[in-house]
Amino acid sequence: MEPLEPGRVRMYACGPTVYRYAHVGNLRTFLLPDLIRRVLLYHGLEVVHVQNITDVGHLREDAAGREVDPMLVAAGLEGRSSREIADAYEAAYHADAALLNLLPAHVFPRATEHVDDMIELAERLEDLGHAYLSPAGNLYYAVATFPSYGALSGNTLDALRAGHRSEVEPDKRDPADFALWKAAGPDRELRWSSRRWGEGFPGWHLECSAMALRHLGARFDIHTGGEDNVFPHHEDEIAQSAPLVGGPPASRWVHGAHVLMSGRKMSKSAGNFQRVTELAAAGLDPLAFRYLCLTARYGRKVSLSDTSLAAAAAGLDSLRAGLRALGEPPTDGPWASDRPLIAGESGGRPAGRAVGIAGHGDGGIEQPAIEDRATAPRAPLSPAGRTLHERFVAALDDDLDLPSALRVVRQTLRAPLPPDERRWLILDWDFVLGLDLHRAWESPSAELPAGAAALLAARSDARRTRDFAAADRLRSELRTLGVEPIDRPDGSSDWQPIDQSDDGPTARSSLVRKRSSNR
């Protein structure tokens, strides 16, 4: 692709609504911008990645057809403030994303920190005649004022009106109109003052338009999200932004398909969801789920089951075993591996704008330089090796055909090439795959005792939600199993075994090198 700004791609990714834990279906959606970013970096392009955190305004219909804010519902159910809910589940999201090697964004704007931007945007739309104030004090976008409404999703206004539930929001002029600002009821916790419409809160769709404009400018290159974001969310974003910036804000809109469990879309509301920490607690490397996602194109659904996860874990293990059979990489010379791209954890609530290739997750780790690895590989590849490299890159450039790219990796393992060349190619490609293949030669980690992984995952959740009494209780249970949790200053965790001797339990001096569910 040709970026709007030479050599630099600006990308906005719809992020999590932090009222519950993210499930692996959500994480597959967030894997999409990670893969896009890695491919662009592999081509030597700088990437500025923005991913929003929705902590207010994502209204949804409940069973009775009423609009509710899940942030406030969660706060009521858990007996905490909405701020406490947002902080706890945002921290959990960042930790879960780290388990899947997702490169943290350079900016994580939060909706509650950009309400002034949203009010200003809504005022401009009202001034241009695209919005109106209803008798109930709600500000709506009038979709009839935007003739191309529905172009992204293929909807028509007549079809939308015919399918609308007329009993919802009777103060609209047109059933297809959507909210920019909602008047706050007397008991609503999250509320802000506006100059024109009194106290209220912003609509969900307005959030992304305002935050993208603030952090990426009027026009940017790529906007990603799940397939359920196409309508109404992204359609409404375009309608809001286009009158102000002269057209759709993003050059390309890319949407990932859902994860299915038992044939149904994985969702929090349906209750059929699984967290990545649950995979870790069951003894499965979380990167096996990443590998599973790479076996399907991003626009196709992935079926999650014990069978599919076991097959993905076996595939990842065999890939690592094949690499180990080639021998360790040399430390110097033409076949020495380049520095790997490390996707560290961004911390519980990253602030500001990060710089560098790894965004908020660099953790002080020296990262590789941005260079065109796709067309100018550094190693002295043979003609056969260069052909394999070109096939891998062609798969990436064919709308992220990762299944074909994985097939090239497998073929390279068996190719009649010197071991050094095969190893170099595969480790170089892991820059995009993100499977931590450079760890294939690490010494096997000590095994957790039975039941300890689940306790570590539960303790990690207790710490992130600030339930310190539960965390202390779980630490005691882990110690009885011979496991000592280690808490890092940055909020991450590890563990080390305890020697059970006559003098009492003593933690061993060397930490276990393990990617645990507490990372």
> Which pLDDT tens digit goes with each residue over 367-391?
999 999 999 999 999 999 999 999 9
Mean pLDDT to the nearest integer, 40-45: 98
Q: How confident is the model at residue 60 (pLDDT cuts 50, 70, 90)?
A: low
Say if residue 510's pLDDT is above 60. no
Burial of 129 (0-12, 13-18, 19+ CB in 10 A): exposed
Reported confidence tier of residue 437, pLDDT bands at 50, 70, 90: very high
More confident residue, 190 or 252: 252
CB 191 within 8 A of CB 184: yes
454 confidence band (pLDDT: 50, 70, 90): confident
DSSP 243-258: HHHTS-SEEEEEEEPP
Which two three-digit tokens encode residue 469? 């009494």
Q: Are the beta carbons of 96 and 21 closer than 8 angstroms?
A: yes
Whether the CB-CB separation of 71 and 19 falls below 8 Å is answered with yes
pLDDT for position 512: 26
CA angle (101, 107, 113) in 5-degree steps: 130
SS3 state at 453: helix
Contacts of 123 (CB under 8 A, 6+ apart): 195, 196
Q: Is the pLDDT of residue 98 over 90?
A: yes
Q: Is residue 103 scored above 60 in pLDDT?
A: yes
* Neighbour-count burial for 178-212, b at 16+ CB within 10 Å, e otherwise: bbbbbbbeeeeebbbebeebeebbbbbbbbbbbbb
State the pLDDT at residue 480: 87
Domain boundaries, given as residue ranges, for the chain = 1-442, 452-507
Predicted pLDDT at 63: 47
Q: Does pLDDT of 64 surpass 50? A: no
**What pLDDT sits at residue 457?**
73
CB 9 within 8 A of CB 48: yes
Q: Within a 10 A sphere around the Cβ of 173, how many other Cβ atoms? A: 12
pLDDT of residue 262: 74
List the single range of 34-48, 173-187, 406-420 with lowest mean pLDDT: 173-187
> pLDDT digits over 105-133, tens only?
999 999 999 999 999 999 999 999 999 99
Whether 469 has a pLDDT exceeding 70, the answer reads yes
pLDDT for position 256: 97
Tokens 């096996």 belong to residue: 288
pLDDT for the residue numbered 506: 38
Q: Is the pLDDT of residue 475 over 90?
A: no
Name the CA dihedral angle for 355, 358, 362, 366, rounded to a multiple of 10 degrees: -90
Work out the average pLDDT over 282-289.
Answer: 91
In which band, very low, low, confident or very high, does the pLDDT at 67 lie, cut at 50, 70 and 90? Answer: low
**Amino acid 358: pLDDT:** 93
| Pairing of β 46-51 and β 8-13 | parallel
Helix, strand, coil percentages, rounded to 5, for the chain:
40, 15, 45
Per-residue confidence band for 59, with pLDDT thresholds at 50, 70 and 90: low
CA distance 327 to 237: 51
CATH superfamily for domain 1-442: HUPs (3.40.50.620)
Read off the pLDDT of each residue in 64-68 and give the average, rounded to a whole number. 55
Which pLDDT belongs to residue 297? 97
pLDDT at 161 over 60: yes
pLDDT band at 519 (very low <50, low <70, confident <90, very high): very low
Q: What is the mean pLDDT of residues 334-346?
A: 91
Q: What are phi and psi of 233, to 5 degrees?
A: -60, -55
> Mean pLDDT score of the chain, rounded to an integer?
86
Query: Tell me, what's the pLDDT at 514?
Result: 34
CA angle 240, 244, 232 (to 5 degrees): 15
What lies within 8 Å, CB to CB, of 300 at 6+ separation is 257
Q: Which range is least confidently modeled, 24-28, 237-241, 422-426, 500-504?
A: 500-504
SS3 420: helix
Where does residue 507 fall: left (phi above 0), alpha (psi -120 to 50 degrees), or beta otherwise?
beta
Interior angle at CA 401, CA 33 and CA 321, nearest 5: 95
Burial 54-88 (b: 16+ CB within 10 A, else e): bbbbbbeeeeeeeeebbbbbbbeeeebebeebbbb
What's the pLDDT score for residue 228?
Answer: 92
251 vs 85: which has the higher pLDDT = 251
Dmax (CA) of the chain = 80
Helix or strand run (H / E) with residue 486:
strand 483-487
Q: CB–CB of 201/78 below 8 Å? A: no
pTM, rounded to two decimals: 0.84
Phi (first) and psi of residue 492, to 5 degrees: -80, 170
Secondary element (H or E) of residue 30? helix 24-42
For the chain, give the percent of residues with pLDDT over 90.
64
Q: Is the pLDDT of residue 248 over 80?
A: yes
Question: What is the DSSP secondary-structure string of 133-192?
Answer: E-TTS-EEE-GGG-TTTTTTTT--HHHHHHTS-TTS-TT-SSTT-EEEEEEPPTT-SS-E
The token duo for 497 is 């075994």
Tokens of residue 257, six digits? 């398909």
State the residue for tokens 């003098």.
503
Reported confidence tier of residue 447, pLDDT bands at 50, 70, 90: low
Give the confidence band of 331 by pLDDT, cuts at 50, 70, 90: very high
Using 50, 70 and 90 to split pLDDT, how confident is the model at 48? very high
The pLDDT of residue 44 is above 90: yes
- Residue 511 pLDDT greater than 50, yes or no: no
Q: Residue 211 above 90 pLDDT?
A: yes
66: pLDDT strictly greater than 60: no
Written as six digits, the tokens of 4 are: 């709007």
Contacts of 219 (CB under 8 A, 6+ apart): 4, 245, 246, 247, 249, 250, 251
Residue 69 reports pLDDT greater than 80: no
Q: What are phi and psi of 152, to 5 degrees?
A: -70, -45
Region of residue 414 (left: phi > 0; alpha: psi -120 to 50; beta: else): alpha
In angstroms, the Cα distances linking 166 to 43, 63, 323, 448, 486 are: 50, 15, 60, 56, 56
How far is it, in rounded angstroms, from Cα 265 to Cα 289? 17
User: If pLDDT is split at 50, 70 and 90, which confidence band does 458 have?
Assistant: confident
